[in-house]
Chain A
Amino acid sequence: MLTDTTTTPVYELTKPDKKFIGWHIFFAVTALTIGSLFGPLQALEHAGVDLYPRLDFLFVEFNGVNSYYQGLTLHGVLNALIWTTFFITGFTTLVVIRGLKRPLAMPLLNRIGFWSMVAGLVVAAIPLLGNKATVLFTFYPPMQADNLFYIGLVLVVVGSWIEGWGFMLTLWRWRKENPDTKTPFIVLAAVINVVLWQVATLGVAVEILALILPLGFGWVSGIDPQLSRTFFWFTGHPLVYFWLLPAYISWYGMLPKQAGGKLFSDSLARLAFWLFLILSTPLGFHHQFVDPGVPAGWKYVHSLLTFGVGFPSLLTLFTVVASLEYAARKRGGKGLFGWIRALPWGDGSVTAQLLAGILFIFGGIGGVANASYNVNLVLHNTAWVPGHFHLTVASAVTLSFFGICYWLVPHITGKPLWRPQLALASSWIYFAGMLIFSNAMHTVGLLGAPRRVPLGLAPYVPSEWNGHLFRVAVGGSIMWVGLMLFVVVVAVTAFQRKRLPEGEHIDVPVAESLDDPNKAPAWLDRWKPWLIAMVVLIILAYGPQLIDQIAGIESTSPGFAP
């Protein structure tokens, strides 16, 4: 059985709510489908099979997809920025309404936000497809894209802010209506993620509005790449947590129920999310360890803070695994590790998330190496880095979102999951491909292979890299097959005619806690101290350097369009 079916609904979202969430998922999956087309092309290129010259027929109205770098940009923007943001805002809509058991406070606000995001996607897609924004998803200045690309990104971010205001307003109203009730964990966690996003994206907003667009419109003649990078990574690292926290919401608050158990500790779960809020942002310099304009002392400070965020990550590991162990023991699991076999591995939704967690263990280990100021020098700007973030955003996040879709799409459409066995297979195939791909990328990175380079064309590739680059191609291609199976299963589920039997529906799996949430300390349900801590820590970690870099700004680098 894939998910629980029940004839006594706990709470029904309205049809317009479900349709609204469905639009989010539609755009998210469409972006993922297009963006992922380029994944195997890059992987095959590394093995010497360059298919890009044969792609002129794609998007012919826009001059075709011409190069490795255009494909890499489309892959990064559509997968890392669009798939995630649209999915997360849709999932948050569901979590807030279902968790609070009330409608959104101002549905119109959320709709304005969503359609702004769609408008932004369309505006950014025009230069992207026309090869006028081939600047990769980090768009480091002085590389310069068509202004429409940045305007589109601004619209996507502002739209997500507006949707976020809708979620915050809804929670604020609910707290007014329920002053003596603790905020349900899944909603607290979802709104913490919303607040994290609002604060984190201030960096990239300043970068685009104050530095990049003035250059693009010709108001200034140059740009300061160092300051731009600092603003970018102010957003760039907490962006990773914006992606991860919705997966964690599912792992903490939903997966235990799907596995037949309960959340091990509601209090630990709340504490972990508050710590992510205060610790996710003030550590961006660990992405800039080789930047010449950031003093070594500040790099050490951010390195230490990055280890600080390891603490809520370990809390998450412990609490989620304990919740799963509890479920497995209830199902008859025995032994120190034998209980793992008793988990419901036949359920496609559960298995996708379990496999996501397994891959993320290695992503976390790699992250500790990335954060180490000295060890990072072995890996910096090598193929290790994309190997690492494919274990985070493309595994922990994406594979978890697959698992969520396997109950969410039936829930919002009222239709049964099409071919549950194919859903199960999609996760295993993707997992197998990722194991091969990420292992090869990490290994070849340690051997010195640079990232963001069409290695198939590079004359300096030593023979010892060849076997690993071949594995990159094989793993990347297998992943794509798994991903396409996911797309087919979700699309057929949504558009099939078959409906669930009358009176039956797929419920949102919300886990109870082993401890009583009402006995959790009151400070775990108060916003003020955590918000103050977050602001203070950001000021301490970034303030002096931002003052220094802004005071010494040197807008001397002319932009260039690659």
Chain B
Amino acid sequence: MATEADNDSEVQEEFKPRGTVAFAAAFVVVLLLMWFSIYIIMLSRGTTI
């Protein structure tokens, strides 16, 4: 019968943070979208000299 410790080491050995990589990628995409939306606002206001 598998013990909790066996289960722990199994998860530990198999663990690849795929969800984290996807999460970080989504973060970067949202960041870029939001940054460029403000950049476009800036451009739309034109020069203010």
A369 to B37 alpha-carbon distance, docked (Å): 10
Asked whether A379 lies within 8 Å of B23 as measured between CB atoms, the reply is no
Q: Which of A314, A337, A365, A446 has the most CB atoms of chain B within a 10 A radius of its CB? A: A365
Given A365-B30, A368-B31, A325 and B12 touching (CB < 8 A)?
no
Which residue of chain A is the closest to B4 with respect to CB atoms?
Answer: A330
A379 to B34 alpha-carbon distance, docked (Å): 13
State which residues 331-372 of A face B: CB under 8 Å: 335-337, 339-340, 361, 364-366, 368-369, 372
Given A317-B27, A322-B17, A330 and B45 touching (CB < 8 A)?
no
Asked whether B11 lies within 8 Å of A378 as measured between CB atoms, the reply is no
In the complex, whether A318 has a CB less than 8 A from a CB of chain B is yes
From A314, A365, A377, contact of B35 by CB (8 A): A365
In the complex, whether A326 has a CB less than 8 A from a CB of chain B is yes
CB contacts (< 8 Å) of A322 on chain B: these are 17, 20
Asked whether A375 lies within 8 Å of B24 as measured between CB atoms, the reply is no
Residue interface bits A297-320, CB-to-B below 8 A is 1, else 0: 000000000000000001001100
Which residue of chain B is the closest to A261 with respect to CB atoms?
Answer: B11
A378 to B36 alpha-carbon distance, docked (Å): 12
A379 to B17 alpha-carbon distance, docked (Å): 36
CB contacts (< 8 Å) of A82 on chain B: these are none
Asked whether B31 lies within 8 Å of A337 as measured between CB atoms, the reply is no
Given A336-B22, A337-B22, A326 and B38 touching (CB < 8 A)?
no
Asked whether B20 lies within 8 Å of A369 as measured between CB atoms, the reply is no
A339 to B16 alpha-carbon distance, docked (Å): 13
CB contacts (< 8 Å) of B23 on chain A: these are 321, 337
Asked whether B34 lies within 8 Å of A314 as measured between CB atoms, the reply is no
From B8, B24, B27, B38, contact of A446 by CB (8 A): B38
Which residue of chain B is the closest to A361 with respect to CB atoms?
Answer: B27
A340 to B11 alpha-carbon distance, docked (Å): 16
Asked whether A329 lies within 8 Å of B42 as measured between CB atoms, the reply is no
Q: How many residues of B are counted as interface, with CB atoms below 8 angstroms from the partner's CB atoms?
A: 22
CB contacts (< 8 Å) of B27 on chain A: these are 317, 361, 365
Asked whether A321 lies within 8 Å of B35 as measured between CB atoms, the reply is no
Asked whether B19 lies within 8 Å of A336 as measured between CB atoms, the reply is yes
Tell me how far the C-beta of A249 lies from the nearest C-beta in chain B, rounded to whole angstroms.
20
In the complex, whether A209 has a CB less than 8 A from a CB of chain B is no
In the complex, whether A55 has a CB less than 8 A from a CB of chain B is no
Given A317-B27, A369-B35, A378 and B45 touching (CB < 8 A)?
yes
Asked whether B30 lies within 8 Å of A318 as measured between CB atoms, the reply is no
Asked whether B41 lies within 8 Å of A329 as measured between CB atoms, the reply is no
Asked whether B35 lies within 8 Å of A375 as measured between CB atoms, the reply is yes
A340 to B23 alpha-carbon distance, docked (Å): 11
In the complex, whether A169 has a CB less than 8 A from a CB of chain B is no
Asked whether B17 lies within 8 Å of A368 as measured between CB atoms, the reply is no
Asked whether B17 lies within 8 Å of A264 as measured between CB atoms, the reply is yes
From A339, A365, A514, contact of B31 by CB (8 A): A365
Given A321-B23, A368-B35, A336 and B42 touching (CB < 8 A)?
no
Asked whether B34 lies within 8 Å of A318 as measured between CB atoms, the reply is no
Given A336-B22, A369-B34, A369-B35, A446 and B41 touching (CB < 8 A)?
yes
CB contacts (< 8 Å) of A369 on chain B: these are 34-35, 38
Asked whether B17 lies within 8 Å of A326 as measured between CB atoms, the reply is yes
In the complex, whether A374 has a CB less than 8 A from a CB of chain B is yes
Asked whether B42 lies within 8 Å of A374 as measured between CB atoms, the reply is yes
Asked whether A318 lies within 8 Å of B24 as measured between CB atoms, the reply is yes
A381 to B12 alpha-carbon distance, docked (Å): 48
A339 to B22 alpha-carbon distance, docked (Å): 12
CB contacts (< 8 Å) of A326 on chain B: these are 11-12, 15, 17
Which residue of chain A is the closest to B8 with respect to CB atoms?
Answer: A330
Asked whether B17 lies within 8 Å of A325 as measured between CB atoms, the reply is yes
A449 to B24 alpha-carbon distance, docked (Å): 32
Asked whether A321 lies within 8 Å of B41 as measured between CB atoms, the reply is no
Which residue of chain A is the closest to B31 with respect to CB atoms?
Answer: A365
Tell me how far the C-beta of A259 lies from the nearest C-beta in chain B, rounded to whole angstroms.
13
Asked whether B38 lies within 8 Å of A378 as measured between CB atoms, the reply is yes
A-B contact pairs, 26 of them (CB 8 A): A264-B17, A317-B27, A318-B24, A321-B17, A325-B19, A325-B20, A326-B15, A326-B17, A330-B7, A336-B18, A336-B22, A339-B19, A340-B19, A361-B27, A361-B30, A365-B30, A365-B35, A369-B35, A375-B38, A375-B39, A378-B38, A378-B41, A378-B42, A378-B45, A446-B41, A514-B15
Residues of A at the B interface (CB closer than 8 Å) are 262, 264, 314, 317-318, 321-322, 325-326, 329-330, 335-337, 339-340, 361, 364-366, 368-369, 372, 374-375, 377-379, 446, 514
Residues of B at the A interface (CB closer than 8 Å) are 7-8, 11-12, 15, 17-20, 22-24, 27, 30-31, 34-35, 38-39, 41-42, 45
Q: Given A317-B27, A372-B35, A379-B38, output 12 extra A-B contacts at Cβ < 8 Å.
A: A318-B17, A318-B20, A321-B19, A325-B19, A337-B19, A365-B30, A366-B34, A368-B31, A369-B38, A375-B38, A375-B39, A378-B38
